[in-house]
Amino acid sequence: MTLRNKFILTVAVLYLAMGVLAWQLLRYDKVLFVMAEALIVISLVFTYRLYLSFVRPMHLIAAGVESIKDRDFSIKFMETGQQEVDQLISVYNQMMDELRQQRVTQTEKHFLLERLIEASPSGIILLDTYDRVAGLNPAAAQLLQASSRDVVGKALGELPGHWGNSLESIPKDEQRVIRPNGIQTYRCRKIRFLDRGYHRYFLLIEELTQELLEKERNAYEKLIRMMSHEINNSIGAVNSILNSFKYFAPQLDADTKPDFDEALQVCITRNQNLAGFMANFANVVRIPVPVKRPVHLHELLQGIHRLMAPSFEQKQVTWQWNLDQESPMVAVDVQQLEQVLINVVKNALEATEPGGWVKVQTSASPARLLIKDNGKPISPEVQEKLFSPFFSTKVNGQGIGLTMVREILLQHGFKFSLQTGQDGITAFAIDLTEA
């Protein structure tokens, strides 16, 4: 029962009792009866006014509660002239003003935050309470090469490409530097925030590729130049001394001379091999600025095929073509791009077992080259280190090939990638248009 109904019931019972008592006065004194009836009528008027005084604030409170439930903070009440009611109205109106101002401020901040997130050059991935993707900004969508509807609701490990493995391993409230494709370098932070009383996280992805590449390049250039200078100086002096020892060979006994000649030759050969070894490293830091000229890509590929054909026949690996009808015309430094293609094709051949294949695929618009193989897939651990300077999975590898490939393609301004797809096919892709 509501408070209003209780008040009406109480007043009704009270006036019923007063009416019964007044009726009893009629038997004894009519004048007192009339006076009692008059008092009852007057009290009814005051009771009605008192009822209105109570009911109006209750109506105001009910209307205010409904407007707050509906989140409508624009409703305000006019003063009635009653002091108590006007005080209530004043407090309500002030509360509505503050709530409306806070909502406007919150909406403006939320709108500003959304615009900042959308305009941010850093990738931002919002997570829900179960660490599933709840949203991402355009920069993150570009990094993932996927739209919001393709990834929202997925766990981090289910993100496309190598992003899933890299982002899933980042601990909460920490940051790591990752290379999901072995080329670009990113600093990723998993940061906590409070949303409606619950702790949630978002991932902030910042690209560091150019900055780190420059520092990395400066570091190994300085190291290689210093090593090359010291080793070449030592090798030259040692070889000079070893060659001078040959003049003593005729003075030796017949039994001793063969061993002496062999030992000298071993030392000289080893020094020459060491010089060649250092020259390979030095070539990485001596790559000149590319001198570009237009060339038909298919003609360039045919030359690489003729050069590598004996190696393919020897290992019994098939060279397959999937060329566009139109040969793309690309502006490149021919010698440098030939070196890139030889390294890439050679790596694909070495990764492929006898009976396998290496496929060369092109497209003219946009100009793009794919070199695929069905050899051993690239593991996620190796993927992140592929283009690191001097990293190699080969037993006797120097890690120079892909480092040189990276430097040449970066100087050309070409985007490139090397990864194994879901189908187990490994592809080296080169976009032959400047980024």
- Is 310 a residue whose pLDDT tops 70? yes
What digits encode the pLDDT tens for the residues 23-82?
A: 776 677 777 777 777 887 788 777 777 766 666 666 666 776 777 777 766 677 677 666
Whether pTM exceeds 0.85: no
**Is the CA virtual torsion 230, 233, 239, 245 positive or negative?**
negative
What digits encode the pLDDT tens for the residues 395-413?
A: 555 556 777 888 888 888 8
Give the DSSP per-residue string, 357-425.
Answer: EEEEEEETTTTEEEEEE-SSPPPHHHHTTTTSTT--SSTT--S-HHHHHHHHHHHHT-EEEEEE-TTS-
CATH number at 120-207? 3.30.450.20
Task: Kindly list the distances between the CA atom of residue 428 and the CA atoms of 114, 181, 327, 405, in Å, as whole numbers in the listed order.
Answer: 37, 11, 19, 11
Task: Give 355's pLDDT tier (boundaries 50, 70, 90).
Answer: very high
**Which stretch of 74-83, 116-125, 222-231, 323-332 has the lowest confidence by average pLDDT?**
222-231
Residue 403's pLDDT is 77
| More confidently predicted of 81 and 321 | 321
Q: Which one of 3.40.50.180, 3.30.70.20, 2.40.160.210, 3.30.565.10 gives the CATH number of domain 293-431? A: 3.30.565.10
